[in-house]
């Protein structure tokens, strides 16, 4: 399979099903941001962090590939004329979202209550986690805009929303495990 096709040289790209759209289309921005998030999660997973977090991040990366495939399929092309779904992949389901919730609940049990907003930083792994969280939030905004114009599978929106929450809690957990002091945001008093 050739990597280059030259079909995008004019600034358009093809979705699953053959629909051509501009490369700046919100659908492309949506799954492109998911792809970027997946790369940041790979970098985070490559850090010296606990095995369970690595396992959850790896599963999340797989789910993001599924999510990207869903986003890369125009709604009108999602089902073939035969009635079969175009994508022959496992779908996101409630258990994928519940896994993130369960992991957050378990991590929160071990963390002190939050009393302030937290500044990103303190350790390289924690910083990568915050970058992934903010990219996830951007993806969520893009997908929300896409959904405003074209229907998006509700599980996609729920999963991305929960994932950004998970990444925030994971950043706090990593701070604790790595001995990094959480940097509280305390606004300067104005004179």
| Site of tokens 């907003």 | 117
Q: By mean pLDDT, which of 22-26, 112-116, 133-137, 178-182 is the weakest?
A: 22-26
pLDDT above 90: residue 14: no
Within-domain flag for 168: yes
**pLDDT value of position 105:** 98
How far apart (Å, rounded) are the C-alpha atoms in residues 77 and 86? 7
Within-domain flag for 153: yes
Within-domain flag for 8: no
Within-domain flag for 187: no
Q: pTM to 2 decimals?
A: 0.89
Secondary structure in 3-state letters for 82-105: CCCECCCCCCCCHHHHHHHHHHHH
Within-domain flag for 170: yes
Within-domain flag for 108: no
Domain that holds residue 143: 17-75+90-102+119-180
Q: Could you read off the pLDDT of 22-71 as tens digits, one per residue? A: 577 888 899 999 999 999 999 999 999 999 999 999 999 999 999 998 99
Across 92-118, average pLDDT: 94
| Site of tokens 């963390």 | 111
| CATH number of the domain encompassing residue 57 | 1.20.1200.10
Across 130-140, average pLDDT: 98
Within-domain flag for 23: yes
**pLDDT value of position 18:** 65
pLDDT above 80: residue 13: no
What number of other Cβ atoms are within 10 A of residue 88's Cβ? 7
Q: By mean pLDDT, which of 13-22, 87-96, 114-123, 149-158 is the weakest?
A: 13-22
Within-domain flag for 164: yes
Q: Which residues contact 180 (CB under 8 A, 6 or more apart)?
A: 122, 123, 126, 174
| Domain count along the chain | 1
Across 175-184, average pLDDT: 91
């Amino acid at each position: 399979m050739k990597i280059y096709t030259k079909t995008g040289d004019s600034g358009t790209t093809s979705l699953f099903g053959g629909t051509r759209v501009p490369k700046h289309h919100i659908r492309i921005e949506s799954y492109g941001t998911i792809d970027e998030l997946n790369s940041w999660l790979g970098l985070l997973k490559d850090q010296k962090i606990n095995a369970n977090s690595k396992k959850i991040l790896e599963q999340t990366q797989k789910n993001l590939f599924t999510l990207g495939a869903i986003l890369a399929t125009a709604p009108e092309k999602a089902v073939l004329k035969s009635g079969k779904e175009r994508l022959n992949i496992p779908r996101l389901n409630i258990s994928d979202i519940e896994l993130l919730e369960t992991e957050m609940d378990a991590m929160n049990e071990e963390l002190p209550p939050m009393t302030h907003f937290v500044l990103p930083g303190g350790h390289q792994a924690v910083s990568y986690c915050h970058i992934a969280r903010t990219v996830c939030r951007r993806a969520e905004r893009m997908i929300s805009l896409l959904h405003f114009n074209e229907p998006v599978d509700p599980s996609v929106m729920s999963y991305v929303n929960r994932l950004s929450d998970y990444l925030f809690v994971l950043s706090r957990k990593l701070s604790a495990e790595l001995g990094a002091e959480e940097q509280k945001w305390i606004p300067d008093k104005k004179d």
